[in-house]
Structure 1
Amino acid sequence: MIKKKSLWQQSQPWVITIVVVGIFLWGFSGIPLNGIKSTAGQVLGSILNGLFHPDWSYVYSGDGEDLITALLETLAIAFLGTFISAILAVPLAFWAAKTTRKFFSPKSATGKLLLTVIRVFPELVLAIMFTKAVGPGAYAGVLALGFHSVGMMGKLFSEAIENIDRGPNEAIAAAGGSALDGLTMATFPAVLPEFMNYTLYRFEISVRSASILGIVGAGGVGAPLIFALSTRSWPRVGIILIGIVVMVTAIDFISGQIRKRLV
């Protein structure tokens, strides 16, 4: 016998749809829509013209002020910011991970709160802060990416720790092993592939982020890009955008191939 749906079950899809549409309308109502400037088409056409007629002489000049140097600096910022923060995120992840069946764990709650506070500030805001603190350059970019990545990877690492099978740890404890034995022989081998996978994925994101940090003076390819835009050097803008696309695509492909072998 087919059970008749209640009034709420029948109206639930409509209620959800109305609520979602209402949220969208409320969100757009707070955005001032000033229209499109009359020069938008001209600027877009100039950028496209720069992409089809790039300044190839800027690719490499040997003076340290070329595209290759800027892209390598961007990769260095992303690499240092990501992989150093991955090491720092491991102890924070074990602090934040909830490994007991208790409803509330003070250790886990304080660790998660700390990681949340670290993740509050986006990379661009951190780059501005560190640029004022240590001066403009790649060092500020590394600090900005590293600080933000600690919070992101700490959260992902802690979730990986929480989701592992506790059977091997319990077996080691039953055999008389210590907590350190369980950590080194059961927990770490189980979570290490996930740690590496998340680190590589975060590196892909950091490469994109490092490409724009130079806009606020934190090094990388963003600085020559914003300078070329401000001086309306469209061929220079075109070759920089092409360089960024090629770099990001190559990093995504290589990282994806490595992650396939890890998971």
Structure 2
Amino acid sequence: MSNVKVKRYFPIVIVVIIILYSVFTIDYSSVSDISFNMIKSVMGGLFQPDWSFVYDGSGEDLISLLLLTICIAFLGTVLATILAIPLTLISAHNLWKSNIIVSKIGKFVCNVLRAFPELVYAIIFVKMVGPGPFAGVLAIGVHQIGMLGKLYTEEMEAMDEGLVESMTAVGANFWQTMFYTRFPQVMPTYMSLSLNHFEIAVRSAATLGLVGAGGIGAPMIFAIQSRAWDKVGIILFGIIITVFVIDTFTGYLRKKLQ
């Protein structure tokens, strides 16, 4: 009975230890630098946004940069969706029953690609291809190849094999079962996953400009550094509205795919 209690409470004890360790090892010395006037200045600027930055026709205004951010996220997600499918064909163990090492290699590639956040990839690609939106597209695309590859693989492995076995029994080959049975079953879910990750990519693309990968991030970091809180406020307001609209639209599409 005591062993049962130990097994039950052991995970809770571990979590509590981790929380306590995190709380007591963080340096709180910078808290003393916070002042009421600083908070008042920041909040006052955020809630009095600079509406003149919304659109001025220069191509460096809020609307233009938000559209650029959406384009970066969209192209990155399209790239990831296309390249994640062949990676799925390598990673799914039910497609390689006679040679499981292939699926293990595919899953290892997925794990490596998704191990690093988009911001790290953005820094790397900015150095490789130069600053700009293309680096942002590559950063989002490479990261999401790993993310979508993992999710696609799980769906492929969880699908009903009954129809595949029926087609195989009447003489269908691998590609016939793939295009007439497997893909029709999983494709609606794949599209729903891609739409969900497009939402995530928009949020990520909004920060990639911090390291020179295009989008709304660059003017936001410049505004923060110069303490132009009214400009920061309108940028954050624009990001919130954009994410809300995209979430609503993609949520509607996902319901249609179910």
Matches within 5 A, 1:68-147: 68-99=63-94, 105-147=100-142
2:143 and 2:86 map into 1 onto residues whose CA distance is: 16
Report if the CA contact (8 A) 1:58-1:66 is conserved: yes
- Cα pair distance change 1:9/1:93, threshold 3 Å: same
Q: Is 1:204 matched up with 2:203?
A: no
Q: Is 1:178 matched up with 2:177?
A: no
TM-score by length of 2: 0.94
SS in 2 for 1:254: helix
Moved >6 Å (runs of 4+)? none
Correspondence for 1:3: none
SS in 2 for 1:99: helix
- Stretches of structure 1 lacking an aligned partner (at least 5 in a row): 1-5
Q: Is 1:65 matched up with 2:60?
A: yes
Report if the CA contact (8 A) 2:96-2:103 is conserved: no
1:24 positional shift: 2.1
Higher alpha-carbon deviation: 10-19 or 89-98: 10-19
1:143 positional shift: 0.8
1:91 positional shift: 0.3
Correspondence for 1:36: 31
1:209 and 1:69 map into 2 onto residues whose CA distance is: 17
1:35 positional shift: 4.4
- Stretches of structure 2 lacking an aligned partner (at least 5 in a row): none
Higher alpha-carbon deviation: 192-201 or 36-45: 36-45
Structure with greater helix percent:
2
Higher alpha-carbon deviation: 92-101 or 24-33: 24-33
Correspondence for 1:161: 156
Which of 8, 31, 45 pairs up with 2:40?
Answer: 45
Q: How many residues align?
A: 258
1:153 and 1:90 map into 2 onto residues whose CA distance is: 9
Q: Is 1:218 matched up with 2:213?
A: yes
1:65 positional shift: 1.4
**RMSD over aligned Cα atoms:** 1.8
SS in 1 for 2:94: coil
Q: Is 1:229 matched up with 2:233?
A: no
1:12 and 1:184 map into 2 onto residues whose CA distance is: 47
1:202-230 CA distances to partner (integer Å, 9 max, x unpaired)? 10110000001011111100001011111
1:152-194 CA distances to partner (integer Å, 9 max, x unpaired)? 1011111110010011111111111121110111000001011
Report if the CA contact (8 A) 1:47-1:238 is conserved: no
Higher alpha-carbon deviation: 160-169 or 34-43: 34-43
2:235 and 2:95 map into 1 onto residues whose CA distance is: 51
- Cα pair distance change 1:42/1:168, threshold 3 Å: farther
Percent of aligned pairs with the same residue?
45
1:228 and 1:72 map into 2 onto residues whose CA distance is: 19
Q: Is 1:192 matched up with 2:187?
A: yes
- Cα pair distance change 1:101/1:64, threshold 3 Å: closer
SS in 2 for 1:44: helix
1:73 and 1:19 map into 2 onto residues whose CA distance is: 45
TM-score by length of 1: 0.92
Which of 10, 22, 31 pairs up with 1:15?
Answer: 10
SS in 1 for 2:31: coil
Which of 244, 249, 252 pairs up with 1:249?
Answer: 244
- Cα pair distance change 1:189/1:228, threshold 3 Å: same
